[in-house]
Structure 1
Amino acid sequence: MKHLIIALSVLYPVIPYCQSYTQTIKGIVVDADSRIELVGANILIVGSDPSLTTISGLNGHFRLEKVPLGRHTIQVSYVGYEQFVMSDVPVTTGKEVILDIAMKESAIQVDEVTIMANKKTQTNLNAMTSVSGRMFSVEESKRYAGGFYDPARMAESFAGISSTGGDDNELIIRGNSPRGLLWRLEGIEIPNPNHFPPGEGATGGGIAIITSNVISNSDFLTGAFPAEYGNALSGVFDINLRKGNTEKHEFALQASVVGFEAAAEGPFLVENGSYLVNYRLASFRLLDKVGISVSDNNVVPFFQDFVINLYLPGNKAGKFSLFGFGGTSSAGNRAVRDTSKWISSSDRTEMTELHTTGVLGIKHYLPLPGGQSYLRSVVLASYENNSVDLAYLEDELIVKNIHNSTSAYLNYRFSSLLHHKFSSLHSLRCGVIAGSLGSDVFGVAYDDYPEDREIYVDYNGRAGTMQAYVQHQLRLPGNIEINSGLHGLVFLLNSNYSVEPRLGFKWRFSSNQSLNAGVGLHSRIEPLSMYMASYTELDGSISQPNRDLDLARAWHNILGYNVFLGRDIHLMAEVYYQYLYNVHRLELWP
């Protein structure tokens, strides 16, 4: 796997499209709560000479042309709203910059609004996040050294986050198991979006399928999550795909000796509709065939993937998106065929791993009459298949099976969220999440003869989950914000459930300083294979000792302080306490 990651640094040289010395910045400005387009917002490139400025027109869209190449600070202002500032926006040749700007309505009178000019905005996309949340942009996720355009590897540089120490991108968030992380895409839970996952229930892998080339502004949360988020113990990646260019077709191709990446985007079917398609392939097989060994005689790593996002805005019917991704990967170890070089058992062991994953979803966004409410619904189907085969060489170089396992998951999920903004001081959000989780899991271990085997898991069936939540945001005079909510989760396989109160607090007591706090109960369902693990009793009956396992739970308690020291320095400090209980360890045999 190490060779795979090194090679990816070769895969990402940027091939310019043209020799233009200016570029276009365009996008849309919306209300952060209601998602209503804001007409007449002023957009300015700070420090431009002559001044580059424009206003958002109908449907909130804006366009700035002939912007010099380089990094720029974008400042957006609108009467009655807090100023929005986005720093270090890279403007390069060949591709227009597309921004999705969400502005927050001020809770105080316009003449009382005081915002520190030109500071880097740290507001989360989810306006009901009080603490331990961070929005990251496309540009930011590309700038971290060693990030390989991978959001998870970018997060390794954040305070309180560390890697597992191997070649994969799994995250240890404040000491928690990496398997407590929730991945969401377009507002709904998805399976692990990474190649080469290190086992059942893994939340990471060798490299991400969803890279920085296809994502829009997204949130990363590390504790005391808003009530909207369930089935997570340690953190949440809330990823959004970017939309394609709505005015012209753009194409990109990157290539190296280990693979290539191709992308296309442009207008699609209706006005302001767009498509985005990205395909990537990487393998060391070409080098291996010409005699350059990069795998130490092991199975040559290989992966390919694609991401798609079709956006179709309508009028009365609302806005539709068809999105998805898919990927396959393979790797493994070969046994040493020269018995004189056998030092340990690993020298005579062979392993092959094959992984396939795919997701296809439809999102519908419907503004409701009155302009202060919207309904967002998502339906999604996902498929995963992971197989691992282990064998070893006997002294006569005969291959003997040790272990074979295959796990396939076909899941269906539905999510619906209703958001209503009563005023600049009150917002209410409620929703439901339903899941039908299907699994076909088989695992067998062999003894001396093929007929001497023990099947330790053999299950084919479905289990359901239900979640519901309600969240309220109250903004008080003095720049005080309180986010309170309740989340409920039921695992229908064994009827275990969790009722989870959530509370967040934020107080901006000066133009550049704030205090925030959060407390909440969180829970997570284990992989289905853990509940279905079985063994044969002496009397021949089948036992499943884990079927009635309760949900793993955690209380999060966080107190934070934020200060902006000048234009480009942001200091954030948090005190964190967590109480974990009902944490499980799989037992296959008593």
Structure 2
Amino acid sequence: MLNKKMLWIFLMFTTLVNAQELTQTIKGKIFDNETQEPIPFATVVIKNTNPIIGTTTEDNGKFRLENVPIGRYDIEVSYLGYESTIISEVVVTSAKEVVLKVTLTESPYALDEVIIRPKTRKEEPLNRLATVSARMLSVEEASRYAGGFDDPARLASSFPGVATSSVGNNAIIVRGNAPKYLQWKIEGVEVPNPNHFANLSTFGGGGLTALSSNLLANSDFFTGAFPAEYNNALSGVFDIKMRNGNSSEYEHSIEAGIIGLDFASEGPLGKKENGASYLANYRYSTLGLISSLLPDDAGKINYQDLSFKLSLPTEKAGSFSIWGIGLIDNSESLPEKDVNKQVYYEDVEQQDVSQYMGALGINNRLTLKNSAYLNTTLSVSTNGIDLKTDRLNNQSQLKPENAIKNTNYNIIFKSYLNKKFSAKHTNRTGITLRGLAYNIDLKENNVNTNTLNSLVSENGFSSLLSAFSNSLFSLKNWKLNLGINAQLFTLNNSVTIEPRLGLSHQINENNRLSFGYGLHSRIEPLNISLATTANNTQANKDLKLSKAHHFVLAYDWNISEKLHLKIEPYFQYLFDIPIVANTTTSLINLEQDWFINDTYINAGKGQNYGIDLTLEQYINKGFYYLVSASIFNSKYKTDTNKWYNTRFNKNYFITALAGKEFRLGKNKQNSLGINIRVSIQGGNRYSLIDNQASFLQQDVEYNETNPFTQQAETVFLTDFTVNYEWNKRKTTQRLSLKVLNATNFEEFQGHRFNLQTNQVDKFKEGIIIPNISYKISF
């Protein structure tokens, strides 16, 4: 037993430790943005600290700031002859070191005696070859913003030009385009849709992301006029980056919540001085816990995902990284047993679904002489779905309704050379070779024979080959991005030559005017190209890629250091869109339909035009807000030569989000963040119901002679996020409450045929998605 003196000493020590100000280390490396070479002797300063906390980088570009008090900071990085930059809203906690990778851009007209004012433009993309319609996605924002839900797609819906498909689905509509036209990239290469329950309700979307925020670095999101290195994308691009693990300290986190369990770990590989590191994350959930994510008729659901990255620098062979992501989903729904409750087909169906997706890549970045580097990636990926639906007949016997077996494999080789000729000219030139292997078997019930008929039964191999070159010219107050991309799709030898242009003029220190143009294209779903059509041939195999011209103007005004206004009017002209001749049917409206065997021709057109506005205040004294608005029109036409609304023509959406962070505790070492988002958007489009045809077919039938003339009521959604975070020595704990659709707004979900009344009902459903979670990092 401790005597009184020893007890008094113990209590005094405990009191001193608890009262001690908690600190952490900020470290990182400074690079030249064009050459990726380290910059020695750059200055790194934490703004608004007293006394000032700062340092300079070593010969290898590395820096280290120790004993930084817990909090949120802006960090200024500068070097003579380069444009200074401010990394804003850096969060420092007690559990994990902050590791930064900062790039500086050489100023072509900087003189020794000229002081270049640092710029705070946290919304600007990481890729300097992007001129317009691009924004950086911050991992910290995905966790903080209401409605972000730690999901890049849901976070993007806070930005202008981006509308949500529905609360229960993270598919997004970019400037009136179908979600299927969006491309996902990880570490620079295209990957299959990386969402759980992908493509079940909307092609291009899913229920939850498989990309854990524990693993992601800041990334880019594009909504139009993409740079030349991006191919096979028509509406937008998610260019997702994975961060490197901490190469000197082991760090871990565990999170448990309604959605499931999350485990993350990172640290050095081998000796700490070699700079190698690992980073891994695993998640598991059973939707007995998150049934609120799904409609009322959902059954058993569970999912899991794993992602990782290994960083392996070498002295002579450059820097290697190995990364991977994988997911497995299972769901099951059973028919309603009570005959009196069997109202819709969904009530008399049994459906079993198994899905998977995986991607593995190895990347090498080799620094060359004369201000150049070579970046090369080899990746393999796969995704598949095995779905079987049975339906009760009049004798309450289950009979096959449809079956999907769809497996895809991709192997991608991408390499580009980035050469900095001078501070005024940088060029990036490269190739992408993508092999596509497929095994597709789609069957649907024939009502006449009551047997499953095969619509697609194909396995084979094709390829998509691409080459690009892009030059960035920096002139006085002007920047010109000029590029070209060429593609060959070997399934039918379709060729596209796609010019890209970006031009920006810095009017003065706070105002900038920009213009962007690009021709873009995307492959339509392979099951349509390979379908056996009505004449018992593969009439769609020669379909060309769908294409679009993008034109964008942009005006940026830095009203103050923390307040930014952006206005972007745009026009998109779509062409070569597959349509069914002499009808109003166009793949521009395809949302989710696996069972298509119509014959298509590339004669359709479309146009999207509108204006996007953003007013954003970065965090200032703990308060921030973002208001974004879009007014647009989305039209299409077939060979009937008449313009119609597209399915995704919502016409407008407005999003306002705001939050306040309070620093609490004796040394302000804890924080309480309260965040809210309110969004208003036009309702979903649909065609008039053909009641007579619906009665005869015993299913929902639309009058498509004048499609999508009807619009559901305006959608009004409210989301909020509350985070309370407290720091102890070596640990940080966070308690979070995140809710989507907190007001339980009932969204229009389409139409269903009522089996009891033999009429078509409008189906509306309110889905609240809550998540309460506890996370500890150590």
Common fold: TM-score over 0.5: yes
Counterpart for residue 401 of structure 2:
402
CA–CA distance in 2 between the matches of 1:299 and 1:93? 42
Deviations 1:22-41 (A, max 9, x none): 11111111011111111111
**One-letter amino acid of the counterpart of residue 362, structure 2:** I
CA contact (8 A) 1:102 1:125 kept: no
Equivalences for residues 440-459 of structure 1 within 5 A: 440-447=439-446, 452-459=451-458
Equivalences for residues 71-150 of structure 1 within 5 A: 71-110=72-111, 115-117=116-118, 119-150=120-151
Relative to structure 1, the CA distance from residue 42 to residue 435 in structure 2 (aligned partners, 3 Å threshold; closer, same or farther) is same
> Do residues 425 (structure 1) and 424 (structure 2) align?
yes
Equivalences for residues 136-215 of structure 1 within 5 A: 136-199=137-200, 202-215=203-216
Counterpart of 2:277 (choices 274, 279, 284) is 274
* Partner SS state of residue 166, structure 2: coil
**One-letter amino acid of the counterpart of residue 368, structure 1:** L
Counterpart for residue 558 of structure 2:
564
CA contact (8 A) 1:82 1:113 kept: no
CA–CA distance in 2 between the matches of 1:448 and 1:432? 48
CA–CA distance in 2 between the matches of 1:576 and 1:287? 39
**One-letter amino acid of the counterpart of residue 350, structure 1:** Q
Relative to structure 1, the CA distance from residue 392 to residue 324 in structure 2 (aligned partners, 3 Å threshold; closer, same or farther) is same
TM-superposed deviation, 1:286: 6.7
CA–CA distance in 2 between the matches of 1:324 and 1:224? 29
**One-letter amino acid of the counterpart of residue 311, structure 1:** S
Greater shift, 542-551 or 271-280, is seen at 542-551
Counterpart for residue 236 of structure 2:
235
Deviations 1:39-83 (A, max 9, x none): 111111000111110111132111111111111001000111001
Deviations 1:387-419 (A, max 9, x none): 221111224332111001110001111100101
**One-letter amino acid of the counterpart of residue 588, structure 1:** N
CA–CA distance in 2 between the matches of 1:248 and 1:168? 38
Counterpart for residue 640 of structure 2:
none
Counterpart of 1:283 (choices 283, 286, 292) is 286
Counterpart for residue 484 of structure 1:
482
Structure 2 unaligned regions, length at least 5:
1-19, 579-585, 588-595, 600-778
TM-superposed deviation, 1:353: 2.3
Counterpart for residue 366 of structure 2:
366
Relative to structure 1, the CA distance from residue 295 to residue 205 in structure 2 (aligned partners, 3 Å threshold; closer, same or farther) is closer
Deviations 1:246-270 (A, max 9, x none): 1011111112355211011001136
Counterpart for residue 357 of structure 1:
357
Deviations 1:524-546 (A, max 9, x none): 11222221111464xxxx41121
Counterpart of 2:576 (choices 579, 582, 589) is 582
Greater shift, 522-531 or 387-396, is seen at 387-396
CA–CA distance in 1 between the matches of 2:119 and 2:446? 68
> Do residues 56 (structure 1) and 57 (structure 2) align?
yes
CA–CA distance in 1 between the matches of 2:452 and 2:548? 39
TM-superposed deviation, 1:194: 0.7
TM-superposed deviation, 1:295: 7.7
TM-superposed deviation, 1:294: 9.0
TM-superposed deviation, 1:168: 1.2
Aligned residue pairs, count: 563
CA–CA distance in 1 between the matches of 2:333 and 2:423? 59
CA contact (8 A) 2:297 2:346 kept: no
Counterpart for residue 709 of structure 2:
none
TM-score, normalising length from structure 2?
0.70
TM-score, normalising length from structure 1?
0.91
Relative to structure 1, the CA distance from residue 530 to residue 284 in structure 2 (aligned partners, 3 Å threshold; closer, same or farther) is same
- Between the aligned residues of both structures, percent identity stands at 37
Relative to structure 1, the CA distance from residue 112 to residue 120 in structure 2 (aligned partners, 3 Å threshold; closer, same or farther) is farther
Structure 1 unaligned regions, length at least 5:
1-18
Counterpart for residue 641 of structure 2:
none
Counterpart for residue 390 of structure 1:
389
* Partner SS state of residue 347, structure 2: helix
**One-letter amino acid of the counterpart of residue 416, structure 1:** S
Deviations 1:341-394 (A, max 9, x none): 222333212223221000000001111123x00000000000101122111122
CA–CA distance in 1 between the matches of 2:355 and 2:121? 40
Deviations 1:154-203 (A, max 9, x none): 00000111111251111111111111111111111111111111249932
Counterpart for residue 527 of structure 2:
529
Greater shift, 127-136 or 482-491, is seen at 127-136
* Partner SS state of residue 528, structure 2: helix
TM-superposed deviation, 1:451: 8.1
Relative to structure 1, the CA distance from residue 513 to residue 127 in structure 2 (aligned partners, 3 Å threshold; closer, same or farther) is same
* Partner SS state of residue 543, structure 1: coil
CA–CA distance in 1 between the matches of 2:229 and 2:312? 26
Q: If each structure's strand is expressed as a fraction of its own residues, which one has the higher value? A: 2
Q: Bigger radius of gyration, 1 or 2?
A: 2
* Partner SS state of residue 423, structure 2: coil
CA contact (8 A) 2:479 2:503 kept: yes
TM-superposed deviation, 1:287: 8.9
CA–CA distance in 1 between the matches of 2:392 and 2:343? 13
Deviations 1:278-336 (A, max 9, x none): 00011134799xxx999857422211001110010001111111101000112343210
TM-superposed deviation, 1:92: 1.6
Greater shift, 579-588 or 271-280, is seen at 579-588
Relative to structure 1, the CA distance from residue 432 to residue 89 in structure 2 (aligned partners, 3 Å threshold; closer, same or farther) is same
CA–CA distance in 1 between the matches of 2:442 and 2:290? 35
Counterpart for residue 255 of structure 2:
254
CA–CA distance in 1 between the matches of 2:270 and 2:529? 46
Equivalences for residues 460-479 of structure 1 within 5 A: 460-477=459-476, 479=477
Greater shift, 382-391 or 356-365, is seen at 382-391
CA–CA distance in 2 between the matches of 1:463 and 1:199? 25
**One-letter amino acid of the counterpart of residue 565, structure 1:** I
CA contact (8 A) 2:400 2:451 kept: no
